[in-house]
A = this chain, B = another copy of it.
Amino acid sequence: MPIKMYDLAGAEPDRRFSPYCWRTKMALAHKQLEVETIPWRFSDKPLIAFANWERVPVIVDQGKPVVDSWAIATYLEGAYPARPSLFGGGAGLGLARFHNAWADTVLNPALSRFAMLDAYNHLSPADQPYFRRSRLERLGVSLEEYCKDREGRLPAFQQLLEPLRQTLAAQPYLGGEAPLYPDYIVFGSFMWSRCISPFRLLDETDPVNAWRERLLDAFGGLARNAPGYW
């Protein structure tokens, strides 16, 4: 029985843009686990109420719900130890928390100022009022104000990627010679942007972009074949 996964979708059911869901989809592919994704919208909260949770990703593995992308990754690592490791051992799991925290507290907030209005525009009409209202509460400004002057803010965003760039100039993946879960954590953020926004965030010559291209091709082009822009 394939694992079921509730995956944030836009108005088009194949537009799957959540950075956290991308972490999980790449992790499932890395573990060579079959998955059946179920498109989910913000207005579908009742659909995942069985898991006592209000956000995606949520997976159901043999009847057991697991919520939260980090918890899902560590669950998969423990439940499928014979499959390719997501962390390369206990030290890797410990160290990966910093990549997770960096993506959550530095990268995603910065990306949101480039992607959030585009995300809104791809939502199903049923989700748009909720999204606009909740973001206004959280940000204190309109989506239009929050995402204005992207060109002007691009150099500062690219500067923020410097630790990523320096790492990926020295080795092909954050995991070293091959990708590990931290690669999928950070890649998920770039998939968020790719899936809903035509605005290019990376120069062709940036080592971060070369790494992104490699991960777009991973697992038979799982990410590249998803509807997206760049």
Q: A97-B171, A182-B98 are in contact. Are A163 and B106 (CB under 8 A)?
A: yes
Q: Count residues of A near B (Cβ-Cβ below 8 Å).
A: 35
Q: How far is the CA of A124 from the CA of B145 in the complex (A)?
A: 52
CB distance from A10 to the nearest CB of B (A): 29
Determine if B98 and A92 form an interchain contact, defined as CB atoms under 8 angstroms apart: no
Chain B CB within 8 A of A139 CB: no
B94 adjacent to A171 (CB under 8 Å): yes
Contacts of A174 in B (CB 8 A): 94-95, 97-98
B interface footprint on A77-105 (CB within 8 Å = 1, 0 otherwise): 00000000101111111111111111011
CB A179 to nearest CB in B, in angstroms, measures 10
Q: Is the CB of A163 within 8 A of B90?
A: no
The reply to whether A163 and B101 contact each other, CB–CB distance below 8 Å, is: yes
Q: Does A175 contact B (CB under 8 A)?
A: yes
A128 at the interface (CB under 8 A from B): no
**Chain B residues within 8 Å of A100, by CB:** 167
Q: Which residues of the other chain, B, contact A87 by a CB distance below 8 angstroms? A: 91
State the Cβ distance, A78 to closest chain B Cβ, in Å: 15
Roughly how many angstroms separate A70 CA and B96 CA in the complex, as a whole number? 19
Please name all residues of chain B whose beta carbon is closer than 8 Å to the beta carbon of A163 when the two chains form the complex: 98, 101-102, 104-106
Chain B CB within 10 A, most for which of A98, A166, A176:
A98
Q: How far is the CA of A93 from the CA of B171 in the complex (A)?
A: 11
User: How far apart sit A22 and B104, CA to CA, in the bound complex (Å)?
Assistant: 29
A190 adjacent to chain B (CB < 8 Å): no
- Which residues of chain B have C-beta atoms less than 8 A from A99's C-beta? 95, 98
* Given A89-B89, A90-B88, CB of A166 within 8 Å of CB of B95: no
A170 at the interface (CB under 8 A from B): yes
Instruction: Indicate whether A173 reaches chain B with its CB closer than 8 angstroms.
Output: yes
Known: A88-B92, A94-B175. 4 other contacts (CB 8 A): A91-B91, A91-B92, A92-B92, A101-B165
